[in-house]
């Protein structure tokens, strides 16, 4: 008799065991080697999967069920601990494989630097790509303590690669003065708020291909304390869900997404991975067409 493995924490709830017939692929990037404050996001992907067993299959927001969605949970990438550069290569290579197979990637972080090789691979495939970045932090530094491979640099790298005017940042409430100046000059920069500016920005993106990267720390620490660089003054989980639904209901063509910086050890209530799991369900049902 096959035992029910729902509580093993190995896979996101209701994922298919068949890669070939799956449209979307959930994969984990358990890396936290470059964080500037508290480590622990390497344990994010596994704990989000564990929390997913508490989800209903049905989304009343979208009137859809994950039982009708075909998605494969690939598990976590095997990353060489302590070697950020090589880890990013592994991630980039994996994403290029997914895109070659015409899959929709849904990444679980891990620190935010893991999104950088994903964005590079996405941009290779979609030269007219736009990036939606929802985060408490601007992530626009050129380097941190002399190190260009840092979780505070991925969006600056993306801006230099694809042009800042193809990037839309929401919810930003922390960064250096230089980052805020750079953002205001070079990026479609919407600090502090998320849902309201998204409503005006989405029509400007038309039907473009869009990659969506969400840092869980855009939420107020009262909604998501389990993150390495918690930042007071954030939005509620209700507003972040609304943001996902606004994107899902717009004309943009979402081609991939990730959710990063869940560090479960700082949240004994497990609320952070519980909200993260629900966000993944809504992104899966809303973004994968
Ligand atoms: Mn952040």
> Residue 199 sits in a domain of what CATH number?
3.40.800.10
E strand or H helix that includes residue 66: none
Can you give the pTM of this predicted structure?
A: 0.96
Using the mean position of ligand 1's atoms as its centre, give its distance from the Cα of residue 121 in Å: 22
pLDDT for the residue 8: 52
Residues 6+ apart with CB under 8 A from 101: none
Buried b / exposed e along 200-228 (16+ C-beta atoms within 10 A): ebbeebeebbbbbbbbbbbbbbebbbbbb
Using the mean position of ligand 1's atoms as its centre, give its distance from the Cα of residue 287 in Å: 22
267 in a known ligand binding site? no
pLDDT for the residue 3: 55
Give the span between the Cα atoms of 283 and 17, in whole angstroms. 20
Helix ranges (H only) for 9-103 are 44-52, 84-100
217 in a known ligand binding site? yes
Give the span between the Cα atoms of 95 and 41, in whole angstroms. 20
Could you tell me the mean pLDDT of each successive run of 10 residues in the chain, 289 residues long? 54 94 97 93 96 96 97 95 95 98 98 98 98 98 90 96 98 98 98 98 98 98 98 98 98 98 98 98 97
Domain presence at residue 66: yes
Domain presence at residue 17: no
Using the mean position of ligand 1's atoms as its centre, give its distance from the Cα of residue 68 in Å: 33
Cβ proximity of 227 and 217 under 8 Å:
yes
Classify residue 223 by its DSSP letter.
T
Write out the DSSP string of 199-225.
Answer: HHHHHHHTT-EEEEEEEGGGB-TTT--
Using the mean position of ligand 1's atoms as its centre, give its distance from the Cα of residue 24 in Å: 25
Using the mean position of ligand 1's atoms as its centre, give its distance from the Cα of residue 137 in Å: 4
pLDDT for the residue 145: 87
Question: Residue 234 has which token pair?
Answer: 């954030």
pLDDT for the residue 1: 46
Domain presence at residue 233: yes
What sign does the dihedral 287-234-135-105 (CA atoms) show?
negative
Using the mean position of ligand 1's atoms as its centre, give its distance from the Cα of residue 172 in Å: 8
Domain tally, the chain:
1
pLDDT for the residue 36: 87
pLDDT for the residue 75: 94
Domain presence at residue 18: no
133 in a known ligand binding site? no
Domain presence at residue 35: yes
Using the mean position of ligand 1's atoms as its centre, give its distance from the Cα of residue 219 in Å: 10
The range of the structural domain enclosing residue 198 comes to: 24-287
């Amino acid at each position: 008799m096959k035992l029910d493995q729902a509580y093993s924490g190995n896979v996101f709830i209701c994922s298919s065991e068949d890669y070939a017939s799956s449209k979307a692929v959930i994969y984990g990037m358990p890396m936290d080697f470059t964080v500037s404050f508290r480590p622990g996001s390497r344990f994010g992907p596994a704990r989000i999967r564990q929390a997913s067993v508490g989800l209903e299959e049905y989304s009343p927001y979208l009137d859809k069920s994950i039982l009708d969605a075909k998605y494969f949970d690939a598990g976590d990438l095997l990353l060489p601990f302590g070697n950020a550069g090589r880890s990013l290569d592994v991630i980039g290579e994996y994403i290029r494989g997914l895109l070659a197979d015409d899959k929709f990637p849904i990444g679980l972080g891990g620190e935010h630097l893991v999104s950088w090789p994903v964005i590079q691979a996405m941009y290779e495939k979609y030269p007219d790509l736009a990036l939606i970045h929802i985060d408490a932090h601007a992530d626009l530094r050129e380097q941190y303590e002399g190190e260009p491979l840092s979780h505070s640099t991925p969006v600056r790298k993306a801006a230099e690669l694809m042009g800042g005017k193809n990037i839309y940042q929401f919810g930003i409430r922390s960064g250096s003065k230089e980052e805020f100046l750079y953002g205001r000059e070079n990026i479609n920069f919407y600090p502090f708020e998320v849902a309201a500016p998204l409503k005006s920005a989405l029509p400007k993106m038309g039907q473009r291909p869009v990659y969506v990267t969400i840092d869980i720390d855009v939420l107020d620490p009262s909604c998501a304390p389990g993150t390495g660089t918690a930042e007071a003054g954030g939005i509620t989980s209700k507003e972040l869900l609304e943001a996902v639904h606004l994107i899902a209901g717009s004309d943009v063509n979402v081609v991939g997404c990730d959710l990063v910086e869940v560090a479960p050890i700082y949240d004994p209530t497990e609320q952070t991975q519980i909200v993260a799991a629900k966000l993944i369900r809504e992104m899966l049902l809303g973004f994968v067409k």
